[in-house]
Amino acid sequence: MTRIFVDADACPVKNEVLKVAERFDLEVYLVSNQWMRMAVGPKVHKQVVPEGADAADDWIAEHIEIGDVAITSDIPLASRCLEKGADAMGPSGKAFTKDNIGMALAMRELKSHLRETGEDRGFNASFTQRDRSDFLNAIDKTLVRLIRTSR
């Protein structure tokens, strides 16, 4: 059965995930370093992990399985999920795949280096309504595919 794991601390689409999960009748795990005030239901699990740089990532990577979906903007976590046979996507709806994760990791390292050397200040564009819409379309397509193939 497909489940959704959300790297929830800084995820801008938590509410959208909950709505989609309810529509598909799926379990959701909101994994964070701190308690979040969010709507709950019988299939929504809030998992608070200890403080630490990768505690939420480690919890998700340990529990995710083939047929599950991770929602994260953390590229190394997306890579770990793909290695376990799960799907991974960013909050803007961009799917991480075995074909593009290597380039995503390399770009992450390059951007990190540019920030360290002062060449890049690390400003990110604001999260837009278009990003939200793209995410909803992408997660819908992903869940339909996963549910069809699991039957």
In the chain, where are the structural domains located?
Answer: 3-146
The CATH architecture to which 3-146 belongs is 3-Layer(aba) Sandwich (3.40)
Strand 69-71 to 87-89 pairing:
parallel
CA distance 29 to 48: 10
Average pLDDT over residues 119-132: 76
Contacts with 103 (C-beta within 8 Å, 6 or more apart), sequence order: none
Tens of pLDDT, residues 1-46 = 899 999 998 899 999 999 999 999 999 999 999 888 877 788 999 9
Q: What is the pTM of this model?
A: 0.84
Tens of pLDDT, residues 66-123 = 999 999 988 899 999 999 999 999 999 999 988 876 676 666 566 665 666 776 665 6
Helical axes 101-116 vs 75-83, angle rounded to 10°:
160
